[in-house]
Amino acid sequence: MNDQNHPPLQEHVRWVNRIAVVEIIGDVDLNRSAQFQQMLLDLLDARPERIVINLAQVPYMDSSGVASLVKLMSRTRRSGTGLRLAALTERVRSLFEITRLDGVFEIFATVEEALA
Amino acid sequence: MMPAHRDGSIRLTIRSTPTDLPKVRTEVESLCRTLGFPQEVAGHVMLSVDEALTNIIRHAYGGSEDRPIDIELAPLFENSAPTGLRIRLRDYGQRVDLARIRPRELHDVRPGGLGVHIIRECMDVAEYAHAEDGGTVLTLIKYLPPCKQDDPP
């Protein structure tokens, strides 16, 4: 099948002191959630004080993407690492509301607010 | 959008592989918007179909990627005006105990198991049935919400 309209997930990590800011670009669905989850879990090896995930360029996420974030949250709680989600698109925010996870994750309107 | 049948429905068969899911999402959203669903509701219908297909791939077919899934998208009309969309998803996989298809408790925050909750939350009808010659048919219906003047076009 032509997959041109569904390019690979991209992730970019930058560090602000000991905070890892992860920018995700692309849909996080069943095709991409394994890659998404592994990348996030690998990040814990660098022992960040906090992880901020910038979701501004994630137009779509399904429950497999949410499951990856829940797994990361479980791991960060055990390790004492902070976890914040930032700049959710309308669709992704709606998914968090439907699954009632908007009250479980720390969600911020912008990356700057999540860094404060 | 794929060409519709004379009754306005769209039928397609995909393989049970995650790489086929974006194509279906595009079709569902496009048809929803054509029928006049608000953008947010169209997104919820698309998400529900995606979650249902994910469950078929994972549970009915156990992750096998070359099995067929038949999809029918049928607009509903009353007096020639669209009233909603009916979606039928048919697999030929392992039959599941229909009584066991239910949403899990959301206060138990853990990975996985959210698909059925999402479908029930977003759709007006979600009915599972065993097909006569094996497999399962899931029928989803979403009715068009009443128009409000402040709805985006």
Q: What is the ipTM of this complex?
A: 0.89
> Using alpha carbons only, what angle is made at residue A51 by residues A50 and A53, rounded to the nearest 5 degrees?
150
Give the model confidence (pLDDT) of B109-131 as tens digits: 666 679 999 999 999 999 999 99
- Residue A65: what residue type? G
Give the model confidence (pLDDT) of B37-57 as tens digits: 999 999 999 999 999 999 999
Q: A109: buried, middle or exposed (CB in 10 Å: 19+, 13-18, 0-12)?
A: exposed
What is the pTM for the complete model shown?
A: 0.90
- As a whole number of angstroms, the distance between CA A27 and CA A10 comes to 10
Judge contact between B16 and B65, C-beta under 8 A: yes
Whether the per-residue pLDDT at A4 is higher than 60: the answer is no
Whether the per-residue pLDDT at B150 is higher than 90: the answer is no
Q: Across residues A6-27, what is the average pLDDT?
A: 93
Taking an 8 Å cut-off on Cβ atoms, the answer to whether B47 and A71 are in contact is no
Return the residue of B nearest to A27 by Cα: B22
List of chain A residues whose C-beta atoms are within 8 Å of the C-beta of residue B44 = 94, 98
Q: Which residue has the tokens 């995930």?
A: A53
According to the model, what pLDDT value does residue A2 have? 42
- As a whole number of angstroms, the distance between CA A8 and CA B62 comes to 24
A71 in contact with chain B, both atoms CB, cutoff 8 A: yes
Taking an 8 Å cut-off on Cβ atoms, the answer to whether A31 and B21 are in contact is yes
Which DSSP symbol is given to A3? -
Judge contact between A84 and A16, C-beta under 8 A: no
